[in-house]
Chains A and B, each alone.
Chain A
Amino acid sequence: MRRFVAVGLWLSAAAAFPAAASALPFWLKLPEGVSTYSGRIDGIFRLILWITGIIFVVVEVLLVTFLIRYRYREGRRPRYTHGSNRVEVVWTIVPAVICVVLALLSRATWADIKQHLPKEGVQIEVTAEQFAWNIRYAGPDNKFGTADDVLTLNQLHFPVGQPVIVTLQSKDVIHSFFLPEFRVKQDAVPGLPSRIWFEGTRTGHWEIACAELCGLGHYRMKGFVTVETPEEFGKWLADQAAQAAAEAAPAAAAPAAAPPAAPAAQEEKKS
């Protein structure tokens, strides 16, 4: 019990003081946040950690105190009471208020992340399948579903400082597109494309994880994220487009990463 009090105190203190937080072992910290809204999510996380941490400490300290203070003593007459409406009302209302306030605080952040898509941004289509991420860029003509689309397998590139709008879908089972450092997670559901957005705040390399059980290869349905400067990104995209154009001269040989309806026919022919 005491150990928990200690850990709880430690955690709350850690959340409170950035200086102390940086001294913590890595596993007591959230991973670095590199999207524009990761800070907001982490802020609510810390707020809840504070509130629940305090409640936790208070409850456990009271519990341990009562256990020590009121341990069995020969002949002691326990307090005969059936409760008190007044205190019960207090400890009904206080948690209710805390919870509702937390819900209201979370609401705006949730809406900004999941409900309001930015009007402009880099458009990317991500199609999940057992066990890979098919990533599609519109290519030079800025239109999806044309011959000059750029397709990659498990390689997600996007420019820093610009909103990215991902249209997420799945060919087979449910997958979940998880970018831990960007605090992005959205299930990819077959037959139900969903659109999400995020914006990177610095360049670097990270990984895409699958967060929804999708079969035997679930654990390594891993992709790679490269966040580049807009110039680097533009160059990369142009290179990819040039390469694709060179290969796609006979259009029939296009790989099977098109939106679900198209490859269906193609794959059928092949097999």
Chain B
Amino acid sequence: MFQRTLVLLLAGAAATTLLACGGGKEEDTLEKEEAAAPASAPASAAAPAAAPAAAAAAPAAGSATLTGKVTFTGSAPAKEAIKMDADAYCKAAHSGPVYTQEVEVNGNGTLKDVFVYVKEGVTGTYPAPTTPVVIDQQGCQYHPHVFGIQAGQPLKIVNSDGTLHNIHALPKQNAEFNIGQPFKGMETIKKFDKPEVPVRFKCDVHKWMGAYAGVLNHPFFAVTNDQGTFEIKNLPPGTYVIEAWQEKYGPQTQTVTISGSESKTVDFSFKG
């Protein structure tokens, strides 16, 4: 009787363990997809090997360059000081007032942090790079504030602050995620599967913190710098719809036709 019961117990335990492990395995594969990225530094050695194969299917990489400038006219909205005193750490990280980044007008009357990309006209497939795009949380702000990333490319989220940040991605097409990073130096790797412009990021602890990503399935994108200029390289010949997106003023589009390896200029202008 008792031995039998013991056998029963062991069988039960074994069954439970199996079930647990079954679940565990599923977890592993899920895990690998996401955790692959930190390990993907070595893996990237394999990736380029795969890249030419993919590139063979794709049209040959072009050599045209698209440059341009995004100017700003009208009056810029008043700068609003961020209430950094909501968190003592954030306040201590800055010596003076810090302003919101919604509209950043450069000294030369141009706009910074405008996302410019090829919206339509790209043919062929472009494999996602394995080098991660890094978004850093530093001084309770995101660096960079606006950036582009390819679908499937790893996004490395770094916390350089000694306070909790939660990075809450609010995409509409991709999977939403919300992760806490309570300690300085923490890193997490995430990916987006589908192209989507823009994807907003937010920190719920410091609600002024916002960032935007343009997720695309090709590498033809750029963000304007502090001179208001951008440059998109290696475009193959074709007719393209170019969009410039600004977080407050929204998108603008222009159509451009490129042949051979010419350099073209496309300028945009936003009005305040």
Contact = CB atoms under 8 A, between A and B. Distances in A.
Are any A and B Cβ atoms less than 8 Å apart in their complex? yes
Interface of A: 129-132, 152-155, 215-217, 219-221, 223-224, 243, 246-250, 252-253, 255-256, 271
A201 to B, nearest CB: 25
B86 A247 contact: no
24 contacts: A129-B207, A131-B166, A131-B204, A131-B205, A132-B86, A132-B204, A152-B83, A152-B86, A153-B83, A153-B86, A155-B83, A155-B85, A220-B164, A220-B182, A247-B78, A247-B80, A247-B81, A249-B78, A250-B77, A252-B77, A253-B78, A255-B80, A256-B207, A271-B170
Contacts of A215: 204
Contacts of B28: none
Contacts of B206: 132
B180 interface: yes
B265 interface: no
A215 B81 CA distance: 28
Contact of A216 (B79, B85, B102, B166): B166
A217 B86 contact: no
A26 B2 CA distance: 54
B17 interface: no
A217 B168 CA distance: 12
A217 B87 contact: no
Contacts of A246: 78
Contacts of A216: 166, 178, 180
A220 B86 contact: no
Contacts of B78: 246-250, 253
B209 to A, nearest CB: 11
A129 B204 CA distance: 8
B6 to A, nearest CB: 34
Interface in B63-94: 77-81, 83, 85-88
Interface in B165-185: 166, 170, 178, 180, 182
A220 B178 CA distance: 16
Contact of A217 (B79, B88, B205): B205
Nearest to A271: B200
B166 A217 contact: yes
A250 B80 CA distance: 10
Nearest to A223: B86
A13 B85 CA distance: 43
Given A216-B178, A217-B164, A247-B79, 13 more contacts: A131-B166, A132-B206, A152-B86, A154-B83, A154-B85, A154-B86, A155-B83, A216-B180, A217-B204, A220-B163, A243-B81, A246-B78, A247-B81
A132 B207 contact: yes
A216 B206 CA distance: 13
Looking at B77, B79, B170, which has the most chain A CB atoms within 10 Å of its CB? B77
